Amino acid sequence: MKTLQLNTEKIRKDFPILNRKANGKPLVYFDNAATSQTPQQVIDTIAHYYQNYNANIHRGVHFLSQEATDAYEQARIKIQKHFNIKVPHEVIFTSGTTHAINLVAHGFSSFLKEGDEILVSAMEHHSNIVPWQMLCERTGATLKVIPMDQNGELVMKDYHALLSKDAKLVFCNHVSNALGTINPIKEIIDAAHAVGARVLVDGAQAAPHIKADMQALDVDFYTVSAHKMCGPTGVGILYGKSEWLNKLPPYQGGGEMIAEVTFEKTTYADLPHKFEAGTPNIAGGIAFGAALDYMNAIGFDTIAQYEDELLQYATNKLKKIEGLKIYGEASKKAAVVSFNIQGIHPYDIGTILDKLGIAVRTGHHCAQPIMDFYGIPGTVRASFSFYNTKEEIDTLVEGVQRARNMLV
Ligand SMILES: *Cc1c(COP(=O)(O)O)cnc(C)c1O
């Protein structure tokens, strides 16, 4: 194996929060799939904006407004380049993945009719289930589910069998936040296109680990949340092919999204402004660009390789604990370990870990159908980032062992 150039000691200095104590113990932060921590460089970008050029964008002729507009549009271009998107106006700033998915689901209301089918995978986040159910209610379309197996992998032969000429839309996450599964999205996209269906991939959990190439994937829509990849909360993007973004109606009406307004008729602005009504999260968008710079300076290949090593290390050590079962053992996985110990409620393990300063997530992880599939109320989920260490995993494993000794 190639030696890793990742200098965790140096990297950890960029994240002031990692020096904190939680319940009197050094913080071990393993809830990265819920939100990642923010490096000083990104925090400084936000402070610098408010200290130096806070102004509304695209409107003022004045100096500050120009500076803010330039920085915001530069961030859009950084995002475009990062995801190999053809043109900047195919990047729509949103408040995050949830907003981006709702925008598309709303937009498709006028393109679907009774008898049409929408396919969603069995391992979706609620934010990639509920908007489609609402869309089905509005249009009379039917929701069909691509099943998964015990390993936490999609059953691809069933997917191919489900696809028919009635399939209009397919939705799938790139990486499952609850299980860590990396889904075969290229195969999913190509098969959907072969029957004329459009595909939205929820990339919220993939983007921190995988540098996805929009043109190579040929995906129709892709969503990202900045806060899962070292950026601030409340900002993200919808990528969409121009062809479809031009067809879809605006999601919200307001300032910024119009070309001309009279009381008789309003014409809409061109992309991307048609979908960016109102004053956006300007500092957030600029800071998202800074987060991409930060991660790219380390390198996504290096990040993925290091996180994979953490995943293998944690998986092997946790499995040795008696009665511990890991949910989701797909052959391709991001650095997420979801587990339970026989006879113990996940919440009780989480509570003991918290007392030890270890932050994990317990519960259904916004993916109740997965928990129903396994017949469990939830799991304990530890999710790793490139700033985590093997020593921290040792602390987790000791903590879980201790919880087991106390509770069994
Ligand atoms: C976090 C997450 C979401 C929701 O993202 P928001 O930033 O809360 O809108 C959706 N899908 C997946 C897979 C996620 O991990």
> Domain containing 398 — which CATH number?
3.90.1150.10
Is any ligand 1 atom within 6 A of the Cβ of residue 31? no
User: In terms of domains, do 304 and 291 share one?
Assistant: no
User: In terms of domains, do 13 and 148 share one?
Assistant: no
Specify if 38 maps to a domain: no
Residue 3 has pLDDT above 70, yes or no: no
Atom of ligand 1 at shortest range from CA of 175: 13
Record the pTM: 0.96
For the chain, give the mean pLDDT: 95
Read off the tokens for 372.
């129903």
Q: 183: closest CA among 202, 211, 167, 198?
A: 202
The DSSP result for 83-130, as a single string, is TT-SSGGGEEEESSHHHHHHHHHHHGGGG--TT-EEEEETT--GGGTH
Specify if 37 maps to a domain: no
Q: Which of 136, 172, 230, 366 is catalytic?
A: 366
Among 179, 223, 225, the mutation site with the greatest number of ligand 1 atoms within 8 A of its Cβ is 225
Domain that holds residue 119: 43-296
User: In terms of domains, do 68 and 172 share one?
Assistant: yes
CB under 8 Å to 260, separation ≥6 — which residues? 266, 267
Q: How far is the CA of 200 from the centre of ligand 1 (A)?
A: 14
User: In terms of domains, do 228 and 100 share one?
Assistant: yes
pLDDT class of 255 with cuts at 50, 70, 90: confident
Contacts 24+ apart (CB under 8 A), 256-264: 256/58, 256/280
User: In terms of domains, do 201 and 87 share one?
Assistant: yes
- Catalytic residue check, 136: no
Q: In terms of C-beta density within 10 A (0-12 exposed, 13-18 middle, 19 or more buried), how is residue 166 classed? A: middle
User: In terms of domains, do 247 and 181 share one?
Assistant: yes
| Residues shown for the chain | 408
Is any ligand 1 atom within 6 A of the Cβ of residue 209? no
Q: How far is the CA of 144 from the centre of ligand 1 (A)?
A: 21
Is any ligand 1 atom within 6 A of the Cβ of residue 131? no
Is any ligand 1 atom within 6 A of the Cβ of residue 177? yes
Is any ligand 1 atom within 6 A of the Cβ of residue 125? yes
Give the whole-angstrom CA distance, residue 68 versus residue 286: 9
Give tens-digit pLDDT for 317-375. Answer: 999 999 999 999 999 999 999 999 999 999 999 999 999 999 999 998 888 899 999 99
Among 228, 333, 365, 383, the mutation site with the greatest number of ligand 1 atoms within 8 A of its Cβ is 228
Is any ligand 1 atom within 6 A of the Cβ of residue 204? yes
Q: How far is the CA of 81 from the centre of ligand 1 (A)?
A: 22
pLDDT class of 259 with cuts at 50, 70, 90: confident
Number of domains forming the structure of the chain? 2
Which residues share a beta bridge with 360? none
Residue 152 has pLDDT above 90, yes or no: yes
Is any ligand 1 atom within 6 A of the Cβ of residue 273? no
Max Cα distance, the chain (Å): 72
Give tens-digit pLDDT for 67-84. Answer: 999 999 999 999 999 999
Give the whole-angstrom CA distance, residue 136 versus residue 226: 29
Nearest CA, atom 2, ligand 1: 204
Specify if 3 maps to a domain: no
Angle of the 282-298 helix axis to the 63-82 helix axis, nearest 10: 40
H or E segment to which residue 407 belongs = helix 390-407
User: In terms of domains, do 21 and 104 share one?
Assistant: no
H or E segment to which residue 26 belongs = strand 25-26
Between 314 and 3, where is the model more confident? 314
User: In terms of domains, do 114 and 256 share one?
Assistant: yes
Q: 276: closest CA among 256, 247, 246, 258?
A: 256
In 124-262, at which residue ranges do the beta strands (DSSP E only) sit? Answer: 142-146, 167-173, 198-202, 221-225, 236-240, 258-261
